[in-house]
A and B are shown apart, each in its own frame.
Chain A
Amino acid sequence: MISEKEMHKPRLPGELGFCLALLLFSLTAFYLSYRISGFSSWSSAGSLPLGASLVMCVSSLVIIFRELKKPVPELKLGKTLGQSFFEKVFPARHMIFIFVLIAYMFLLEPLGFITASFLYLVAASLVLGERRYVHMIVSNVVSLAVVYLVFQTAFSVVLPEGILERMFR
């Protein structure tokens, strides 16, 4: 069921493209499901994947149909659809945040948990607009210390080890 209000809300920039991508994904999934065991039997290994991807195809078609009925995205004067997508849905802050997260992922093992997490926390706080530097560093150190101790004692989780961790052992 879709409310009247929602029906008349304009689409978000990129929404239609996303729906089309989902449809494409569903069609690919349907093809891959077919490849599992074809239409060999009603109870073959591929039967539920076929069913699920068929439901995905149909529902994404329904969604596209519904989205087309909605008013087109409101664009600010002089902005293209792409610009407005990067403004409303995927702003620069998100991209930098994800980029920092990817860097953290790759540094976690070489640098060890404490060093990598500290660098990440500082970088991410800066991205999010934190400007009280001393406050930020102190609170990050304290919270990391608590997290590290809790992991080591209560959860006995094995964390990636770096120089700092080896010093504590």
Chain B
Amino acid sequence: MSDVMMNLSYFGMSFLDPYLMFLTAAGVFFGIYVGAIPGLSVTMAVSILISFTFKWGVNEALALIAGIYYGGVYGGSRSAILINVPGAPAAIASALDGYPLAKMGEAGQAIGLTTIMGVVGGLIGVVCLAVGAPMLSDLALMFAPRDYMMLAIWGLLLVGSLSGGMMAKGVFAGALGILFGMVGLDPLTAEPRFTFGSVHLTAGAPYVAAMIGLFGVSEVLVQLHELHFATVKQNVSKLFPSWSLIRKHLPLASRCSVLGVVVGALPGAGGDIAALMAYDHAKRTVKNPERPFGEGAWEGVVAPEAAAVGSVGGCYIPMLTLGIPGDAVTAVIIGALYIHGLKPGPMMLLETPHLFWFTVGNLALACIWLAVFGFMGIKLFAKIVEIPKSALLPMIVVLSAVGSYAIENNPVHIYWMLGFGVVGYFLKMYGYQVGPVILGIILGPLLDSNYRRAMISVSNDPAEFVAEFFTSPVSLVLLALLSLTILSQTRYWGRLIGCFRRNGAGTAS
């Protein structure tokens, strides 16, 4: 009983401490703009913020980051609706029906509806986190090193494949990240790896500078290609949607939130994929929408928004219980936790339950702030979103440079940032994603230590190493999932699905 009371008190921490409350609110408020302004992304903001919050306590840093995360995921849909430019990848699906709604003069109601459904999705996500994480954490205690190894590989494959493009490019980017993660002294044997005799590199590649470079500077360089976008004035007078509209779409929103949580909880897959899958789900299940999809269907904005905001809670599940990031943002957050001396993983819930329940409470608080700020400042918003890029992009560079400098008050990190930024720019231009690189940097050391522990435990016998995948039930399930993911990327998958469909149709008729 006392345990429950203790956890409840940790849960309520950010509700009772005015400073934490303020930080969460500030995070959500700025997050909405970060998410909405095309060219600023949540990953970018969180990467830059990590180095600024070095000197803060963990709780303060987590509160601000949680706020930014929620605000940013939600904010992207606002610009998607208002100006048909998704402010964040998670909002691509919202633009499909959101902008047509705005053209019909219903931008205000569309924003109101997405806010409500986003908050519903967010809260469902938090509940799932509170219930699911302790369960998964218990299960994770049974995981052997080889299981962690497979989870890490699965995460890398998912982020490389689900977000579209060529699978080989995603795999390359992930492996590149792993290689960067290997720089420094080997944690098991203290042998130097890729240090080139430099003392600075023995501590590892400067991954915060790498994150800022890959998500900040390289994005700025990509944006230099299109400096102008047309803006349209929208009617945002009526904000609160009618009660019947809310009630009608609540079931869909709940379904999509759960979908979002599940997708978010998969290692590597985050809000953008959740939103697109939810849109697809809505399209398939809603039989008679008031207006067809793509021409301003309410369902088309409700589904992706609920899923995207819901996925945040989901993304935190593998991050807190397994130490495996749910998406690029949580990969960056894991980097932040490392810096604060914390090691996310199955022991975190046992050793520092206060941190877990604090995070759950904090995320719930962020959802509540989302409901508040979602209905505020939309007129001002339309102006801020139109900041010319010629002013915005240089400012991002200044923040990135100072963020890199602040890591160790050392200009060397700025050089790293620029290096990663330029490399990241060419990677992006030629269709490689930088998300897998960051995931690789975070997952590399995890993969390394777990692979080698698994190998050592079978005394370096590769045959026995392989055999162990088939003898443990947990490993077998993970192996099946991993194989399915790889298989789904090959051309045989389509045929296999076709085969099943035909058989299914045959038995039904």
Q: Is the CB of B168 within 8 A of A121?
A: no
Q: Is the CB of B398 within 8 A of A45?
A: no
Which chain B positions have C-beta within 8 A of A80?
none
Q: Is the CB of A98 within 8 A of B422?
A: yes
Q: Is the CB of B391 within 8 A of A55?
A: no
> Nearest Cβ in chain B — how far from A128, in angstroms?
4
**Interface code A87-104, partner B: CB below 8 Å = 1, 0 otherwise?**
001000110011001101
Q: Is the CB of B172 within 8 A of A22?
A: yes
Q: Is the CB of A105 within 8 A of B55?
A: no
List A residues 29-47 near B (Cβ within 8 Å). 29, 32, 36-37, 41-47
Q: Is the CB of B447 within 8 A of A104?
A: no
Which chain B positions have C-beta within 8 A of A6?
165-166
Which chain A positions have C-beta within 8 A of B401?
101, 104-105, 108
> Nearest Cβ in chain A — how far from B290, in angstroms?
31
Q: Is the CB of A43 within 8 A of B171?
A: no
Query: Is B386 engaged at the interface, CB distance under 8 Å to the other chain?
Result: no
Q: Is the CB of A120 within 8 A of B394?
A: yes
B170, closest chain A residue (CB): A59
Query: Is A149 engaged at the interface, CB distance under 8 Å to the other chain?
Result: no
User: When the two chains form the complex, which single residue of B166, B397, B398, B399 contacts A66, counting CB atoms closer than 8 Å?
Assistant: B166
User: When the two chains form the complex, which single residue of B172, B406, B409 contacts A59, counting CB atoms closer than 8 Å?
Assistant: B172
A106, closest chain B residue (CB): B411
Query: Is B188 engaged at the interface, CB distance under 8 Å to the other chain?
Result: yes
Q: Is the CB of B429 within 8 A of A36?
A: no
Given A36-B191, A63-B169, also A45-B186 (CB < 8 A): yes
Query: Is B405 engaged at the interface, CB distance under 8 Å to the other chain?
Result: yes
> Nearest Cβ in chain B — how far from A27, in angstroms?
13
Given A108-B401, A128-B389, A158-B406, also A42-B168 (CB < 8 A): no
Query: Is B293 engaged at the interface, CB distance under 8 Å to the other chain?
Result: no
> Nearest Cβ in chain B — how far from A31, in angstroms?
11
Q: Is the CB of A156 within 8 A of B55?
A: yes
Q: Is the CB of A29 within 8 A of B179?
A: yes
Query: Is B240 engaged at the interface, CB distance under 8 Å to the other chain?
Result: no
A104, closest chain B residue (CB): B401
Query: Is B189 engaged at the interface, CB distance under 8 Å to the other chain?
Result: yes
Which chain B positions have C-beta within 8 A of A159?
402, 405-406
User: When the two chains form the complex, which single residue of B169, B175, B191, B430 contacts A37, counting CB atoms closer than 8 Å?
Assistant: B191
A148, closest chain B residue (CB): B402
> Nearest Cβ in chain A — how far from B451, in angstroms?
6
Q: In the complex the two chains form, what is the Cα distance from A121 to B191 in whole Å?
A: 44
Q: In the complex the two chains form, what is the Cα distance from A46 to B188 in whole Å?
A: 11
Query: Is B265 engaged at the interface, CB distance under 8 Å to the other chain?
Result: no
> Nearest Cβ in chain B — how far from A78, in angstroms?
23
Which chain A positions have C-beta within 8 A of B52?
151, 155, 157
Q: Is the CB of A124 within 8 A of B397?
A: yes
Which chain A positions have C-beta within 8 A of B165?
2, 6
Q: In the complex the two chains form, what is the Cα distance from A93 to B169 in whole Å?
A: 27
Query: Is A109 engaged at the interface, CB distance under 8 Å to the other chain?
Result: yes
> Nearest Cβ in chain B — how far from A19, in angstroms?
8
Q: Which residues of B contact A (CB under 8 A)?
A: 52-53, 55-56, 161, 165-169, 171-172, 175-176, 178-179, 182, 186, 188-189, 191, 193-194, 217, 221, 224, 227, 388-391, 393-395, 397-399, 401-402, 405-406, 409, 411, 414-415, 418, 422, 425-426, 429-430, 444, 447-448, 451-452, 455-456, 460, 462, 465, 488-491, 493
13 sample A-B contacts, Cβ–Cβ < 8 Å, listed by A number: A43-B460, A45-B189, A49-B193, A52-B178, A56-B172, A59-B171, A60-B172, A102-B418, A104-B401, A108-B411, A125-B391, A125-B394, A157-B402
